[in-house]
Structure 1
Amino acid sequence: MLDKETTPTANTKPGLAAKYRGACVEDLQLPPAFCLSEDAPISHALEAAYEREFDQLPILNDRRRPIGYLYVPTLKQKFEAGSIKEDDAVSRCITHFPLSSKSHPYTVIHPLTPLEELEQFFISAATDFALVTDVERKWVLAVATRDDLETFVKRRG
């Protein structure tokens, strides 16, 4: 096994390894993810997001695989504008993940992913969050954000 304290990742910018000092995603101490099925009503999504103060909610298909997410601020805007109703299925508002391809490769982010790789993912995918799954991508464990990384660095000093 590689020593994550001293072994930099080949795909990262110089200095990122030093910035995170070998920390990995599990060191962020993220709250467990709350996922919804694609046929869940909008009211459940809005309630869950409000109670947990989440901006993104992972959406799962009938086999419990992640297929996309809801961006809660947009969902709230649509609800307030009347373009969606409480009992509509969240499937009407899902932002689907792109299918894996050479131009959009699927990146697995799991608890032991080094934080420098997570930051590189945010940069290369031009996104502000990542679903943290188990290595086999069977379960969504948490949602990591750029803010989580910034908070971690500040907390660590």
Structure 2
Amino acid sequence: MHSVSMLPEDRYRGAVVEDLQLPPAFSLPADESISRALELAYERDFSHIPVLDKHRRPLGYIDTAALIAKWQAGYASPNDSVTQYMCKFIRNESHPYTVITPDTPLAELAEFLHHNIFALVTDLNRKFVLAVATSQDLENFVSRRGT
């Protein structure tokens, strides 16, 4: 009898992030107002939106549900900057930056997503955020392939 659990490599059959066919990333500039950020998040139905500095370097992300809760509770003003409410990315020796590119194997992405809500897909030099990948994207991929 075969084991039900599959190794990640078998589940994704050697596929890479590019095979997910993710839409281009949507991100916010650090100086964007939260009212505009919420409007854009609502239009696109995004739960998490990356925040980038003026050089397009990722600073953190907006958790849309948490921001809406703060807004409704009166803790956030419409013209406040998204940087006041973003979750900052932690980069240090104990939390090194993991580079996820279009060529990253899906098995590696799956492992990363075991510990993170989403992954920013960047170019190899991390100069451009190309897409945002989630566990749901992986599940959709597996469903489409029938694996």
Scaled by the length of structure 2, the TM-score of the pair is: 0.92
Once residues 30 and 85 of structure 2 are traced to their aligned partners in structure 1, the CA distance between those partners, rounded to angstroms, is 9
Give the letter for the 2:50 counterpart.
P
From 46, 54, 58, the equivalent of 1:54 is 46
Which stretch has the larger CA shift, 109-118 or 35-44? 35-44
Instruction: Give the one of 84, 94, 100 matched to 1:109.
Output: 100
Following the alignment from structure 2 to structure 1, what is the Cα–Cα distance between the partners of residues 56 and 88?
15
Provide, for residues 40-66 of structure 1, a one-character-per-residue CA deviation record: whole Å limited to 9, x for no partner: 100111011111111111101122210
Which among 67, 79, 83 is matched to residue 75 of structure 1?
Answer: 67
Q: Which residue of 1 aligns with 2:87?
A: 95
Counterpart for residue 34 of structure 2: 42
Shift, 1:146, TM fit: 0.6
Find the aligned partners of 1:24 and 1:117 in 2 and give their Cα distance: 9
Q: 2 CA distance for matches of 1:149 and 1:58?
A: 19
Show CA shifts across 1:63-106 (max 9, x none): 221011001110111111111011111111011100231x1111
Q: Which residue in the other structure is 1:8 paired with?
A: none
1:119 is paired with a residue whose SS is helix
CA distance in 2, matches of 1:100, 1:107: 11
**Which stretches in structure 2 are left out of the alignment for 5+ residues?**
1-5
Query: Secondary structure at the residue paired with 2:141?
Result: helix
Q: Which runs of 5+ in 1 are unaligned?
A: 1-13
Q: Secondary structure at the match of 1:141?
A: strand
1:118 CA displacement:
0.1
| Paired residue secondary structure (2:140) | helix
- How many Å apart are 1:128 and its aligned residue? 2.1
Moved over 6 A (4+): none
Q: 2:136 aligned to 127, 140, 147, which one?
A: 147
Give 3-state SS (helix, strand or coil) of 2:54's partner.
Answer: coil
TM-score of the two chains, using structure 1 as the length reference: 0.86
Identity %: 54
Number of paired residues? 141
AA at the equivalent of 1:114? P
Distance 2:56 2:41 in 1: 19
State the alpha-carbon separation in 1 of the partners of residues 43 and 20 from structure 2: 21
Q: Secondary structure at the match of 1:105?
A: coil
Q: Equivalent residue of 2:116, what SS?
A: coil
